Amino acid sequence: MDLTVISHLAQVFAQYPVEVAHGEGVWLHARDGRKILDFYGGHAVAGLGYGHPRWLAALERQARQMAFQTNALPMAIRERAAARLSKFVGLGLDTVFWINSGAEANENALKLAFKITGRAKVIALQHGWHGRTAAAGAVTWGALEKWYGFPRRPFDVEFAPRDNPAAVAQFVDADTAAVIVEPVQGVGGAYEVGKPMLQALRQRCDEVGALLIFDEVQCGMGRTGAPFAANFYGVTPDMLTAAKALGNGFPVSALLLSRGVAQHIKNDDMGTTFGGGPMACAVAEAVIETIESEALLANVRQVSTYIRSSCLVGPVTRVQGAGFLLGLKTSRPAKTVQAALLEKNILTGTSADPHILRLLPAYILNEGHVDRLSDALSKIPA
Ligand SMILES: Cc1ncc(COP(=O)(O)O)c(C=O)c1O
């Protein structure tokens, strides 16, 4: 395909100069014949990499059996996947509402918080990113100034600093319905909000009766090397949202509820057509099964440590983040490093921080792949 031909797609995405033909494991095959090592994972989606046989088998099996069925009809696969997901996270988050995207999961979490608390204010963190819908965009740092588009926010929002546990009480008060936080901020630069801050938010929410929501759309589903960041930091939210790697490319998201929250819900509080579709549930089940049976969490931890030690070369001055949500701090603009790496057939991401190169690789990445990255980085001037 000639990419210069006039496109019928809405021109809303900046695109990299690579047309993908197919993928295999951690490799992308471009239409022009290049083989590109992927450290970006389709923006944190391809946790198992491309074309994983268990994922493919689950899709095919479920498509043949029953590709779609409404939530009005019970199905075993829906129940089984919910049980598997809540067991994977543990922490008493054992009620699952299936939906389709990260923003939709956050939207429903916020709606429940308003309903349960009867309050109208949300506290989010500076530099946080939660999605493009009316509520998720309203709690996204900088959205109003850049792209929000709706005439006004649908509820009150304040943004607290992401690095100041002592300031939490100034923001979270008896009017607060919910605090929403990415435990490791993705777009914000693979930035660890960190345990002291998460603990301070947990404690303050308990003091004032607000609900704590972890947006684990990007940092969850094994990306930290633990099932979720909630496990990684040992802090339990009242609600947790998951998407991206949950489906490894098939659209699926989930809102997980604590028992305290779940006891408040009743028929019609939430709804969806496609959420909880059998294909989505079959892939979610297969993804968790694969992460567990192939010991991928241990691999994420081991290879993440290796990245931290071997990629401090060339323009990289520091590595931040957790597991396979890493930010390489660069001495020159990250975009220029990204472009230089792509010329060497390595795909990476950037972030809202112009000096952070973001890595979101598949959990099957190995140390040999990292050697290729560190070698390429070492050839880029600082
Ligand atoms: C932390 C976080 N929350 C929410 C979203 C929105 O997810 P979706 O694009 O599936 O609506 C994203 C997407 O990048 C994200 O990174």
List the chain pLDDT tens, one digit each, 382 residues. 555 678 999 999 999 999 999 999 999 999 999 999 999 999 999 999 999 999 999 999 999 999 999 999 999 999 999 999 999 999 999 999 999 999 999 999 999 999 999 999 999 999 999 999 999 999 999 999 999 999 999 999 999 999 999 999 999 999 999 999 999 999 999 999 999 999 999 999 999 999 999 999 999 999 999 999 999 999 999 999 999 999 999 999 999 999 999 999 999 999 999 999 999 999 999 999 999 999 999 999 999 999 999 999 999 999 999 999 999 999 999 999 999 999 999 999 999 999 999 999 999 999 999 999 999 999 999 9
Q: How far is CA 354 from CA 44, 257, 335, 357, 359, in A?
A: 19, 35, 7, 8, 14
pLDDT of residue 1: 56
Residue type, 245: A
The best mutation among 12, 101, 110, 130 to test binding of ligand 1, ranked by most ligand atoms within 8 Å of the C-beta, falls on 130
Query: pTM of whole model > 0.75?
Result: yes
Rounded Cα distance between 99 and 304, Å, is 30
Within 13 A of 147's CA, how many CA atoms are on the CB side? 10
CB distance 108 to ligand 1 below 6 Å: no
Within 13 A of 75's CA, how many CA atoms are on the CB side? 22
CB distance 103 to ligand 1 below 6 Å: yes
Q: Which atom of ligand 1 is nearest to the CA of 187?
A: 16
Q: Residue 64, class by beta-carbon neighbours within 10 Å (0-12 exposed, 13-18 middle, 19+ buried)? A: exposed
Q: How many angstroms separate the alpha carbon of residue 66 from the centre of ligand 1?
A: 28
CB distance 233 to ligand 1 below 6 Å: no
Q: How many angstroms separate the alpha carbon of residue 215 from the centre of ligand 1?
A: 8
CB distance 224 to ligand 1 below 6 Å: no
Look at the chain and count its residues. 382
Assigned token pair, 221 = 């589903």
Phi-psi map region of 149: left, alpha, beta (phi>0 left; psi -120 to 50 alpha): left
Sign of CA dihedral 211, 212, 216, 222: negative
Tokens 């939490």 belong to residue: 168
CA 174 to chain centre: 30
pLDDT of residue 5: 75
Span between the terminal Cα atoms of the chain, in Å: 36
pLDDT of residue 2: 59
Q: Kindly report the protein residue whose alpha carbon is nearest to atom 9 of ligand 1.
A: 102
Sign of CA dihedral 98, 102, 104, 110: positive
Q: Kindly report the protein residue whose alpha carbon is nearest to atom 4 of ligand 1.
A: 130
CA dihedral 142, 148, 149, 153 (to 10 degrees): -100
Residue type, 15: Q
